[in-house]
Amino acid sequence: MSAVPADLQYTAEHEWVRLEGDVATVGITQYAAEALGDVVYVDLPKVGAALVSGSIVGEVESTKSVGELYAPLDGEVIEANQAVADSPETINADPYGAGWLVKLRVASPPALLSPDEYRALIGA
């Protein structure tokens, strides 16, 4: 069964968000990482990019498929995880830790799923 940490918020597109003030750290969930299989490539948005909630901002490629990354909220990219771009398998090994993807300066309060709502979505 996929882990769903209680201290995070989630999207229906299987991304997690950790809010700390006006900064949101974003990654893909363990459920998404398991569904993708072995991640071999990550395309992340550039620092300074303005993201609009729901828009496609990158992709995660695995040996099985390609998954699109969606902006979970409006904001500006303030950091992209270059370590994950260099070693994409980190997403499989530690999706909620070292496998984070981007940090955003949040433009407006996000509408995200609670851990319980996300568990219901994935049937956990």
Tell me, what CATH number does 42's domain have? 2.40.50.100
Nearest residue to 60 via CA among 23, 34, 97:
34
Q: Tell me the per-residue pLDDT of 71-102, one tens digit each, with 9 for 90 and over.
A: 999 999 999 999 999 999 999 999 999 999 99
Residue 122 inside a domain? The answer is: no
Residue 124 inside a domain? The answer is: no
Vertex 94: Cα angle to 88 and 100 (nearest 5): 65
Global pTM value: 0.91
With 80 as the cut, is the pLDDT of residue 109 above it?
A: no
Both ends of the chain: CA-CA distance in Å? 7
Residue 120 inside a domain? The answer is: no
With 70 as the cut, is the pLDDT of residue 10 above it?
A: yes
Expressed as residue numbers, the domain containing 73 is 9-108
Vertex 59: Cα angle to 54 and 63 (nearest 5): 140
Work out the percent of the chain whose per-residue pLDDT is above 90.
88
Considering only 1-5, 13-17, 41-45, which range has the smallest mean pLDDT? 1-5
What's residue 1's pLDDT?
58
How many domains does the structure of the chain reveal? 1
